[in-house]
Structure 1
Amino acid sequence: MSTSPSLSLRHRSRVIAAAVAVVLTAGTIAAVAPATSASAAAYPSWSDVQKAKASKSAQQAKVTQIKGLIADLTEKADAAEKSSEAAGAAYQTAQTKYDDATLKQQKLQSQADAAEKTAAASEAQAGQLAAQLGRASANDVTTDILTHPSKSGDLLYELGAMSKLSEQADGIYSQATQDRGVAQGLADKAKVAESALGALATAAQQKMQAAQQAAESAQSAVDAQAENKARLEAQLTLLTTNASDVEARYNKGVEVEKARQAALARAAARAAAAQPGGAGGGAPNSSGWVRPTGGYQTSPYGYRLDPYTKNYALHAGVDLAPGCYSPIYAAASGTVTFAANGGGYGNEVIIDNGGGISTAYGHIVDGGTLVSAGQHVSAGQQIAKVGSTGWSTGCHLHFETRVNGAAVDPVPFMAARGISV
C-alpha cells in the first residue's frame, strides 16, 4: 500500500507519534524506522548521550539540546503542514473559478447559438417579404387605375394592401436587425469568456501542482519528526533515568513497527486484489468504467446553497454517501496526478484517465488515501476510503468528472459510459 504523502498530515503525525512513543515498560517500543545516516548526523548519537551522563553539567546541556531539537522538529512539521493546507486552499479556489467560468461560458455560448438561429429566421422572413414586395412592384398600380377606372376599387385595395405589407416589412427588417445585434453581442461575450478560460485553466493546473509539492514537503517534515523525535525522546529517557537497556529496547521497537507496517501493506494488497462488486467497483464494463462507490446520490451537480459555507455556489460534482470508511474505486484506469490536501475538497485524489478526461474524488477520510501521485491505477481498483474532510458536513464521496480540466455534470457523463450515479 502506498500512502499519499500529504493527506491529513496532522492526523498522521499524531498516529505516528503514538506509534513511536517511548514507553519504557517490559514490552517493546513502537517506533518507525530510524533516520538515515545523513539525517542522523545532525542529532546526538547514543554514544554522545551515554557520555553526557558523566557529569551533571554535560547531562543538563544534552537534555537542553535534545529538547530544542524536538521543538524544532515539531515547529518545522507544523509550518510545513500549514503551508500544505494553504496551497490546497489556493488550488481549490483556482479550480472553482475555472469550473464556474467554464459553465458560464457554456451558457453564454448556448444563448449565442439560440440568438443566431432567431436572427437567421428573422432575416429569412425579411428576405421573403422583400421578394414579395418586389413581385408586387412589377405591376404599376397607379397606371392600372388610370387605364382601367372600372377596376379602381380593386386596385385601390391592392395599393392599400401593398402599403400595409411595406409597413410590415419595415417592422420585420427592424426586428431582424435587432435580433442580429443581440446574436452578435452574445457571440462576442462568449468569445471573450472563452479566451479567459485558458488563463484560469493554467492557474488551476499550476496551483494543483504547487499543492502536491507542498504536501510532499510537508509529509517529509512529518516523517522526519516521527523518526527523529522517537529516538530523541528515547535518548532523553536514557539521560534522565537509570535504565540501561533503552537503546536495545528502542531498536527492538523499530523492528516491531517495521513488521507491523509490512503486515498492513500486505493486508491492503489483499483487499485491493479482491475487489468487491455490487454498488461500486468491481470489473469495468465494456466502456472501461465502474461506479466509484456505493450509496445514494445526496447532492447533484449545479448551483446550490452550500451546506458548509452557506454561500450560493457551483457544486462541481455529485455526492454519493455509502457510509464512513466505505471503499472508493477508480472510475476508470489512469494515472494519479494529485493525492493531497485539496482545500475545501479535503483529502483528494485526481486521476488522469486520458483523452482530456480526468476524475476527482474528494473528502477522503484522514489516513484513507491508498495511492500516490504518479501511480497507475486500474478501473475498479480501490484508491481511498470515504470520509468527511474539508468542506463537508458528513461522510460522503464528492465525485467529479472533468473534460480538459473543467468539471462537467457526472450524471450524463457517466450515463454515456453505461454507469449510473
Structure 2
Amino acid sequence: MSTSAQTSLRSRSRLVAAAAAVVLTAGTLAALAPTASASAASYPSWSEVQQAKKSTSAQQAKVSEIKSLISSLQSEAAAKQKAAQAAGEAYQAAQTKYDAAALAQHKLQAQADDAAKTATQSEEQAGQLAAQLGRASANDVTTDILTHPSNSGDLLYELGAMSKLSEQADGIYSQATQDRGTAQAQADKADSAKDALGDLADAAQSTMQEAQGAADAAQTAVDAQNDNETRLEAQLTALTTKQHGVESAYKRGVAAEKARQERIAAAAARAAAKAAATSQGGTGGGTANSAGWVRPSGGFQTSGYGYRVDPYTHYTALHAGVDLAPACYAPIYAAHDGTVTFAGNGGGYGNEVVLDNGGGISTAYGHVVDGGILVTSGQHVTAGQQIAKIGSTGWSTGCHLHFETRINGAAVDPVPFMAARGISV
C-alpha cells in the first residue's frame, strides 16, 4: 500500500483539529474534495445538514449519523491497513523462504555436479589401469619365464610389480564405485530439494496475490477516509456550533490544500531530479541498452546479495538483492519492460513494486517511500520509466532501493545477472 498507517494517523489528527476549530487553511487540511466514489446516499450533503438544523431532534440524529460515519471510516481504514500489513509480512516470509530454499538447492546441484565429475574421473582412471593390466598380463610373464629362464630375477620383479598394480587397481575401482554412489546421493538430494521448490514457489505467488488484494482494499479504505472525513468533521462543526460560513471555509480550505499538495509534489519532483543528477555510483533510468535493460536507480551499492547479519533484525538471513542508495525521494526506474504484478505493502520489503519482465524473469523494488509508488497492479511499463521513489519503509535503516532479480520467482544475485545484460549495479 502506498500510504502507511503512521502517515494516515498523523494526517487524521490534523483533519480532526482543523474541523473542530473550523480553521480550514492550507496548512491544516489534509484531504481533498470528495471524489465521485463518495455517494450522496452514503454521506450527508451540506443542504441536508442545513435542513437538520431546523429541528433539534433532526439535528441530534444527523450529529449521531455523522459521528458514526467518521468512526466507521477510521475503523475500516485502520483495520484494512492492519490486514494489509499482515498480508505483506506473510508474502515476505513466503518469498524469503522460497529464495533461501532455491539458493540451497542451487548449491546442492553444484555439489552433485562436482561429485559426478569426480566419479567420472575415477572411472576413467580405473579403466586406464584395466587396459595397462591387460597389456602386461600374467600370461606374458609366464611366457617370458619359459623362454628366458636366465632372467628369472627380473621376471619375479615384474610379477611383484604386477601384483602391486593389481592391488592399486582394486583400490581405484573401489574408489570409483564409492564416488559414483556419492554422486548419486547428492543428485538425489538436489532432486528432492528441487521438487520441494514447486510448493514454495506456489506459496510465494499465492501470498503475493493475497497481499496485493489486501493492499488494494486498504488503499480504497484510506481514500474513502481522506475523501470524506474532513467534510464530515466540518459538517459536524456546523451542526454543533453557531459559527457561520463553515461550508464556504471548508471549500476554500480544500482548494488551498489542493494547491499546497501540488506545490509539495513539484518540490519533491525537483528534489528527486537533483538527487538523481548528483548521486554517486552510477545513474539510473535513461534509454535502454541494446539488451533492453537500464540501471534501476542511481547511487552506490551499499549491500550485496548473500547471507549477512540483517542491520534491522540483527539476525543472519539471506539478503536476496542489492541495495542502491542515491538519496531519499530519488527516482526508481523499471529495469526492463514489464507488467506490474505487485504494488503495495510487502512487509519487511516496505512499499514494494514487482514487475514481470517476461521469460520467467521478474524484478522487485523495495523500501519505496510512503506515497511513492507511481504504478498500479496490471500496468505495463517500459525500461527506464519511473515507477517509484526511494524511501526507507519496512525493514530499513535508511533511504535506499532494495533491488532484486528473480528467475522463475526465486531471487538470484543481481550483480552477475545485470552484468550479463550490460548493466553494472
TM-score higher than 0.5 here? yes
State the partner residue of 1:241: 241
Confirm or deny that 1:351 pairs with 2:355.
Answer: yes
Q: Which residue of 1 aligns with 2:82?
A: 82
2:116 is matched with which residue? Answer: 116
What residue is the counterpart of 2:401 in the other structure?
397
Instruction: List per-residue Cα deviations over 1:223-262 (Å, max 9, x = no partner).
Output: 1112221221111111111134323433454455566667
Question: CA separation of 1:273/1:379 partners in 2, compared to 1, >3 Å: closer, same or farther?
Answer: farther
Q: Please report how far the alpha carbon of residue 147 of structure 1 lies from its aligned counterpart in structure 2 after TM superposition.
A: 6.0
The root-mean-square deviation of aligned C-alpha atoms, in Å, is 2.8
Using the TM superposition, give the Cα deviation of residue 124 of structure 1 relative to its aligned residue in structure 2, in angstroms. 0.7
Q: TM-score, normalised by structure 2?
A: 0.89
SS at match of 2:312: coil
Distance 1:197 1:184 in 2: 20
Match of 1:24 in 2: 22
Q: Which residue number in structure 1 is paired with residue 4 of structure 2?
A: 8
Matched position secondary structure for 1:348: strand
Structure 1 unaligned blocks of 5 or more: none
Q: How many residues align?
A: 417
Residue 283 (structure 1) aligned with residue 281 (structure 2): no
Q: Residue in 1 aligned with 2:369?
A: 365
Following superposition, the deviation at residue 416 of structure 1 comes to: 1.4
Q: How big is the shift at 1:371?
A: 1.6
Superposed counterparts of 1:12-91, under 5 Å: 12=8, 14-15=10-11, 18=14, 21-22=18-19, 24-25=22-23, 30=29, 31-34=31-34, 36=36, 39-91=39-91
For residue 340 of structure 2, the aligned residue among 319, 336, 342 is: 336
Distance change in 2, residues 1:290/1:271 (3 Å): farther
Gapped regions of structure 2 (runs ≥ 5): none
- Distance in 2 separating the partners of 1:251 and 1:135: 104
Moved more, 245-254 or 168-177: 245-254
For residue 303 of structure 2, the aligned residue among 299, 320, 332 is 299
Over the matched positions of the two proteins, sequence identity in percent amounts to 71
- Which residue identity lines up with residue 338 of structure 1 in the other structure? F
Instruction: Give the 3 Å change call, closer, same or farther, for CA 122–306 of structure 1 in structure 2.
Output: same
Distance 1:215 1:26 in 2: 31
Q: Write the distance in 2 (CA, Å) between the matches of 1:336 and 1:271.
A: 26
Aligned to 1:310: 314
Question: For residue 242 of structure 1, what is the amino acid of its counterpart?
Answer: K
**1:380 and 2:384 equivalent?**
yes
Trace 1:400-419 onto structure 2 (pairs within 5 A): 400-419=404-423
Structure 2 counterpart of 1:309, one-letter code: T
- Where do residues 89-104 of structure 1 align in structure 2 (5 Å cutoff)? 89-104=89-104
Q: Residues 263 and 363 (structure 1 numbering): CA distance in 2 closer, same or farther, change over 3 Å? A: same
Instruction: Please state whether the residue corresponding to 1:369 is helix, strand or coil.
Output: coil
Q: Distance in 2 between matches of 1:8 and 1:220?
A: 13
**Is the 1:334–1:353 contact (alpha carbons within 8 Å) kept by the matching residues of 2?**
yes
